[in-house]
Structure 1
């Protein structure tokens, strides 16, 4: 298996991923459209089965990759695996590898087999099954719409491939952040806290979306229009060069991703105000406010979260790889598209949802790369 895969490059993985998701978007949509007049039970069952098939492919895709795929993969191999396989005491392991606690636990348990591939496969299984559980729960196990289409929209995000093969601690943490978000909306605060704490132990940068969620809870009774005014003002501040990199205390929080906030060194990533990202997020915000049901707690909470996380993203434009922080705002887009379609078109939700998924895929993976000249060094279409 390895010998075939070792010849593949990051670019091959990128291209295969875009094709894979594209095929599922088209065939998945067609199958669901063909079934939508059949009894609901067969529609829900097929929806779930195709989703399980896609999740299985993603697990194999990410879990069998070679060490050279994803910048961070080789770091985990060199600084994690090669160091960790010689440490048999758990507490020594935690101390020596000095990374996020739950991630250390996964490494400690899988490294015993002396196989880095087994470690990658385990991470891929945990990550993808967590995403699977989330989309099933969010769609009420298929009762309130297609789990497959929701998951496909999540995979269309610019950062998702990155979660699978590169920034895997983020990838492990994100489904738990999403569960936390969902339980907060349902006012099940204790369960939400458990999920959010779990996400933090998978990756410390979960503090960013957790902070955004706390701000939304604090501003629960504040009207959306005030959030939008604050959003516009934040764009102005970001344009003038204000950013969290100017605030030294944030950089002392620990965690290498958070420490990037104090970054001033050389990089090929384009730092500074990014009109492309601002335009992208603002376009979706406009759609959600215009077409979303603003009487629904779910929609209002998600829109406020989208606004707050977008502002945090804009204030990080001066640091490299700010798109990793952008990922926390982009997570809300599929959830909002799903709930907006559900509340606006309850009778034709499958048809509309299928078209929305096709549009979202085409926009992110075909139109934007063409506009930016597909080989550009960064910008929304590009995966780091």
Structure 2
């Protein structure tokens, strides 16, 4: 089936479009700023179709298969409103119920992929209106973006609403609307939401740097203590806390130096931009601090199974933190074309390598 290979197609096309367009930026044959919203829109449609058409994989695909069965329960039964709203994360089940008219799970996956991808397209268009395609390619090319559109769907959908909410930082009530939707799709979004609120109303960047570093040290010397501490929340907080105690023999658990190094790159880059190059921007300071706080939580539970699922509660902002200053104020930076190219290329290259390794 064609759908078995849609992710291969998406990864290859994203990488090579990034390489070609990035090189045009690098060489000066393409402008950093321009009206690329149309191209970004077309690429968003393509990406959503590739994610939505990906094979359900009955019998072997894990989460995606479970979502299909969950959707079919809404198709095959007339669930009452009280039954739907009694779920802790009722917004997701309400969404499944309202879209049950689609009948086939594959159609539901396509619709869900469009919502997921176009939330990020809206973000790219809102915060980089003159460089939409560049930012959108960085987002789609980011690590785990595709897996959160095909497998870890509920968390991915929820986080896509969180990132839209971040862009309304100047109007907290609009932000809270999107956060409300996100939280009731997946309660784990409480972590980046709280991180955002702390960063917005307690703007102490130096303290956040120290906090992250202390969390790394504490995790290195007493990580199991924090894993056990957070696990007591259990299902009262979020079903993914079961990863804190479940034993898996095939998953590489422990103090993941590779994940730490990957996570600290945006922290270091953001520090350089703001404290060495003196780039000042309210939105950037906010998302950078939000990233640090959310990532610090993951550092404490890094020994958990599938700890990348905790890490993605900050990683979903990775491309924004890395790319935003270069696109928002390209004239501010020396050799900005080279910086844009290498930042965009390395983000995509890492994802491409991890997929095909």
Shorter-chain TM-score bucket reads 0.7 to 0.9
Equivalent-residue separation in structure 1 for 2:262 and 2:23 (angstroms): 28
2:344 maps to: 357
The corresponding residue for 1:236 is: 217
Normalising by structure 1, we get a TM-score of 0.81
Distance across 2 between alignment mates of 1:231 and 1:254: 23
Match of 1:67 in 2: 56
Which digits, 9 at most, give the CA deviation of each residue in 1:186-243, with x for residues without a partner? Answer: 3x111111111111122221112112223323431x2x22222222211111111325
The structure whose RCO (Cα within 8 Å, separation 6+) is larger is 2
- Match of residue 272, structure 1, among 235, 250, 254: 254
Q: Which of 45, 68, 79 lines up with 1:56 in the alignment?
A: 45
Shift of 1:133: 1.0
Return the match for 2:89 from 100, 104, 117.
100
Q: SS at the partner of 1:112?
A: helix
Q: Which of 111, 128, 133 is equivalent to 1:122?
A: 111
Alpha-carbon shift at residue 95 of structure 1 (Å): 6.7
Q: Which of 118, 122, 127 in structure 2 is aligned with 1:138?
A: 127
Judged with a 3 Å threshold, the aligned counterparts in structure 2 of structure 1 residues 258 and 88 are, in CA distance, closer, same or farther, namely same
The superposition leaves residues 238-289 of structure 1 with CA deviations (integer Å, 9 ceiling, x where unpaired) of 111325422144325343123433x232342222211111112223322221
CA distance 1:339–1:86, change in 2 (3 Å): closer
2:293 aligned with 1:308, yes or no? Answer: yes
Q: 1:88 to 1:256 in 2, by over 3 A?
A: same
TM-score (norm 2): 0.86
In structure 2, relative to structure 1, the CA distance for the partners of 1:318 and 1:355 (3 Å cut) is closer
Contact 1:67 1:77 in 2 (8 A): yes
Q: Say yes or no: does 1:298 pair with 2:288.
A: no
SS of residue in 2 equivalent to 1:85? helix
Identify the match of residue 34 of structure 1 among 29, 34, 40.
29
More displaced, 59-68 or 14-23? Answer: 14-23
Summarize the Cα distance change of 1:53–1:349 in structure 2 as closer, same or farther, 3 Å threshold.
Answer: farther
Equivalent residues of 1:87, 1:93 under 8 A apart: no
**Contact kept in structure 2, 1:288 and 1:336, CA below 8 Å:** yes
Deviations 1:96-137 (A, max 9, x none): 9x4732322232133234211221111112111211111111
Match of 1:157 in 2: 142
* Distance apart, 1:344 and its partner CA: 6.3
Aligned residues between the structures = 346
Q: Tell me the equivalent position of 2:10.
A: 17
